[in-house]
Chains A and B, each alone.
Chain A
Amino acid sequence: GAGVSQTPSNKVTEKGKYVELRCDPISGHTALYWYRQSLGQGPEFLIYFQGTGAADDSGLPNDRFFAVRPEGSVSTLKIQRTERGDSAVYLCASSLALGRAYEQYFGPGTRLTVT
């Protein structure tokens, strides 16, 4: 079946601009996660949603980062006033439910480059 999809696959933006990154989870998955991966590092947790609500946003680096999931399916990660340090691959994952026993399925990521 269809996996997690993310758009765009690549995004180049200028410092100070606003960007939106989209994630389409696997159909029926109620839990959705965002991670960020810098070069040479493992993915770093940003935020997760259970349904429409952001249940844990402790990984968001600062208030320039925000994510929504208004209908409990598609999610958008929004970054305001982008900085060069925001350049990374942004990964989205979904799982059937929330909890230790449920594996997360990842999308291919969006590579964000801030010039």
Chain B
Amino acid sequence: DAKTTQPPSMDCAEGRAANLPCNHSTISGNEYVYWYRQIHSQGPQYIIHGLKNNETNEMASLIITEDRKSSTLILPHATLRDTAVYYCIVPNQAGTALIFGKGTTLSVSS
């Protein structure tokens, strides 16, 4: 199963863009990259996922490098409510289980 590497923590000022990096150098050609976040005492929340192309939804944008070895999650205008642990995930080969690491703790401050 492909592994992901994320910085343990990041800070962001409210209203600024938060750019969260992730390395997944062992990802194979048909594996998706997923991003989830977990706000304190809640279950993980799906944000976005992608395979090759950049993706955008109402929550965030996902930029995947051409070689697919890394990606960046972008929260365009971070708010205090975006403070959470953000997980970059490559599911197991069968696509049946999300393999969580320790994620990046994003702290948004005013």
Seen from chain A, the residues whose Cβ lies within 8 Å of a Cβ on chain B are 4, 31, 33, 35, 40-45, 48, 55-56, 59, 91, 93, 98-101, 103-109
Contacts and interface: CB of A to CB of B under 8 A. Distances in A.
B34 to A, nearest CB: 7
Given A98-B95, A100-B91, A41 B42 contact: no
Contacts of B97: 33, 45, 48, 56, 59
A56 B94 contact: yes
Nearest to B30: A100
Given A103-B34, A103-B49, A43 B42 contact: no
Chain A interface, >50% SS class: loop
A41 B44 CA distance: 12
Interchain residue pairs A-B with the least CB separation, the first 5 = A42-B100, A106-B43, A100-B95, A45-B97, A103-B46
Given A48-B96, A48-B97, A100 B102 contact: no
